[in-house]
Amino acid sequence: MRATMCGLVAIALVSLVGCTRTENPSPPTTITTTVTASTVQGTTRTAPSQGTAVDPADYQGPGGHFFASPSAKWHCGIVAASRQAGCHGPMPADAPAVPGSGAPDTMVRPNSIVVAWGNQMARFTSIGDPQFMPDGPNSRPLPYGRSLTVGNFTCTVAQTTGVTCTNTLSHHGFTVSDHAYELR
């Protein structure tokens, strides 16, 4: 009985295989989807291109490379010691509250925006001492449409969108102006 059952199963399988068509087999289809997490608030704008590069030596100061926006609203830096890029300036009104510097149980308006070396999204912060300004009173302006690249960070300034800083390895970064922001 068992031999008969195995024989019937074998005949059924051969019949099924014999009924399939192989004249025009379709090649397998591969679909690739890339999803990028992003937080956008305020007016959505197209991020500026990287622009024409400046000489990093022109922006080097103690502990990093520093610049101001041409409007002087933003003071920014790429700081080697802390392996991050960031800016101080007039944060948008809808920027989320963050733990206070020195008082982490108190939520306050942020006074800086930062993108780190690792694979972390950019974030707003409250920093007690300015980290993204040179020791002297003035930061050299980074002209609109120009870019400053140091290590894996590139920062640009655009008149319509504000300051953009990106970690070129992780593609995390931010674009910020006094009325809008994007965290990547």
Tell me how crowded residue 51 is: count the other CB atoms within 10 A of its CB: 19
Work out the percent of the chain whose per-residue pLDDT is above 70.
Answer: 71
Q: Output the pTM of the full model.
A: 0.72
Among 36-45, 163-172, 173-182, name the one with the lowest average pLDDT: 36-45
**pLDDT value at residue 43:** 36
Q: How far is CA 167 from CA 86, 98, 172, in A?
A: 11, 22, 6
**pLDDT value at residue 136:** 63
Kind of pairing, strands 123-125 and 162-167?
unpaired
* 122 or 81: which leads in pLDDT: 122
Q: Report the half-sphere exposure of 153 (CA within 13 A, side-chain side).
A: 28
**pLDDT value at residue 134:** 77
Q: Give the H/E segment covering residue 153.
A: strand 153-158
**pLDDT value at residue 7:** 42
Q: Is the pLDDT of residue 155 over 70?
A: yes
Q: What is the mean pLDDT of residues 75-104?
A: 94
Q: Are 163 and 76 in contact (CB under 8 A)?
A: yes
**pLDDT value at residue 133:** 84
Q: How far is CA 17 from CA 3, 22, 98, in A?
A: 21, 10, 65
